[in-house]
């Protein structure tokens, strides 16, 4: 679990912007963390089929 969190932190620190499509728990968490870092976030919601 700690290894996954560390990888996610490294990933978020290494990118300049995040594009979120849809809304899984992990992507919503990563979006919030990017916004807290004042990095660009582009968000799109998908229609449920």
Note the pTM of the prediction, 2 decimals: 0.78
Residue 25 lies in a domain: yes
Residue 20 lies in a domain: yes
Residue 22 lies in a domain: yes
Range of the domain at 25: 2-44
Calculate the CA 49 to chain-centre distance.
Answer: 23
Q: What does DSSP say about strands 17-21 and 40-44: parallel, antiparallel, or unpaired?
A: parallel
Residue 49 lies in a domain: no
Q: Model confidence over 1-49: pLDDT tens digits?
A: 688 888 988 999 999 999 999 888 989 999 999 999 999 999 998 887 6
Residue 7 lies in a domain: yes
Residue 33 lies in a domain: yes
Q: Specify the number of domains making up the chain.
A: 1
- The pLDDT score that the predictor gives to residue 31 is 95
For 1-49, list the strands marked E by DSSP.
17-21, 40-44
Residue 10 lies in a domain: yes
Q: How many of the other CB atoms lie within 10 Å of CB of 14?
A: 7
Instruction: Measure the CA–CA gap between 6 and 40, rounded to whole angstroms.
Output: 21
**Secondary structure letter of residue 38 according to DSSP:** T
């Amino acid at each position: 679990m700690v290894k996954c969190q560390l990888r996610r932190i490294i990933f978020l620190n290494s990118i300049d912007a995040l594009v979120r499509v849809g809304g899984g728990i992990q992507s919503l968490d990563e979006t919030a963390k990017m916004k807290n870092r004042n990095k660009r976030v582009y968000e799109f919601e998908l229609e449920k089929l």
